Amino acid sequence: MAQTVKRAFKYRFYPTPEQAEELARTLGCVRLVYNKALEERTRAYTREGKRVSYVESSAMLTRWKRSGEFGFLSEVSSVPLQQALRHLQAAFANFFAKRANYPALKSRKKSRASAEYTRSAFRWWDGQLTLAKMNAPLAIVWSRPLPEGAQPSTITVSKDAAGRWFVSILVEELISPLPAIASKVGVDAGITALATLSSGEKIVSPCHERRDRRRLAKAQRALARKEKGSNNRAKARLKVARAHARIADRRRDHLHKVTTRLVRENQVIAVEDLTVRNLVKNRRLARAISDAAWRELRFMLEYKARWNGRTLVAVDRWFPSSKLCSACGAVQEKMPLNVREWSCACGAIHDRDVNAAMNVLAAGLAESRNACGAGVRPQRESSRAGKRR
């Protein structure tokens, strides 16, 4: 059955000098309002034990606009400022529900600069987008078309560290699921091979960061030599940011192609429930794991499977996929990471990654067949203190 989903389409645009100035002013005001409201709410909570609501924060914003010190807040559109307060309210709600850490201040250098415009703060007409306080539409590069008849509900303008401007257009789209097929696949995430499939195929990791490491290191050395606060340092910092952006863009593009293919070709996809934030604590493997972007791979598989009527099953992270013989079910006592091929007592010879992918698929199918829906917990190792595999 077709479903209506909210989907964001992100495009790059090139503002005029006047538009860039207006947007830069708006981004700065959004950051200021968010940080000042956070400080006020923190002060009220620590000193009085009082929780400040969104309505009270909005009243504070009105007072700031009328004051002489922050009167410049009235010069930009009020909608992005109100949206910043709503985002702060959501951050506090997640904190009190123990879903997230305490909200942090937004840094001018480290935080992603963005401003959100709702329907009353922009005009969408004949495929052209004009934001509040602007007289001309944005020069957007339409790299892909919006769904036919789409009406944007929210516009988010952002600027990355490389100085590029982007606009994210949120629309509602009717998505029909893909035709059901019989094929199923288990996926074992890795470093040399980004993903090893239960069919025996290995999708090689492009290692984008490793390929551009020399260029990035050269740019970082040049940045370190520049005097702090100088224009040359700002130019050098931009070169470093562009090197990082090139790596991130190529990595994301590759992950989109891999995940789209997996979702289109398989009805059931079984993956391991990895905790990447714990795995990257390994100082020897952290750089390679981050370059592989396992978390982003899993995230893409989740929403693409949900949109297209596929089933994604996450297998218990403690399941000994590499130690388990997919032929006879025997579990090996040890399996060091340097062992890439091994033989079982039953006579089966296994490629470590292919065998793990086959076991992940079998465990995933067992979970998906569980009538209660609670999931079948695969066989665990005797101790959680040891290595995962």
Of 188, 209, 291, 367, the active-site residue reads 188
367 flagged as catalytic: no
272 flagged as catalytic: yes
Residue 187: strand pairing partners? 197
Of 116, 209, 272, 291, the active-site residue reads 272
253 flagged as catalytic: no
Per-residue 3-state assignment (H helix, E strand, C coil) for the chain: CCEEEEEEEEEEECCCHHHHHHHHHHHHHHHHHHHHHHHHHHHHHHHHCCCCCHHHHHHHHHHHHHCCCCHHHHHCCHHHHHHHHHHHHHHHHHHHCCCCCCCCCCCCCCCCEEEEEEHHHEEEECCEEEECCCCCCCCECCCCCCCCCCCCCEEEEEECCCCCEEEEEEEEEEECCCCCCCCEEEEEECCCEEEEECCCCEEECCCHHHHCHHHHHHHHHHHHHCCCCCHHHHHHHHHHHHHHHHHHHHHHHHHHHHHHHHHHHCCEEEEECCCHHHHCCCCCCHHHHHHHCHHHHHHHHHHHHHHCCCEEEEECCCCCCCCECCCCCCECCCCCCCCCEEECCCCCEEEHHHHHHHHHHHHHHHHHCCCCCCCCCCCCCCCCCCCCC
**How far lies 242's CA from each of 32, 121, 122, 196, 208, in Å?**
26, 31, 30, 31, 14
What Rg value do the Cα atoms of the chain yield, rounded? Answer: 25
Which residues participate in catalysis according to the annotation?
188, 272, 353
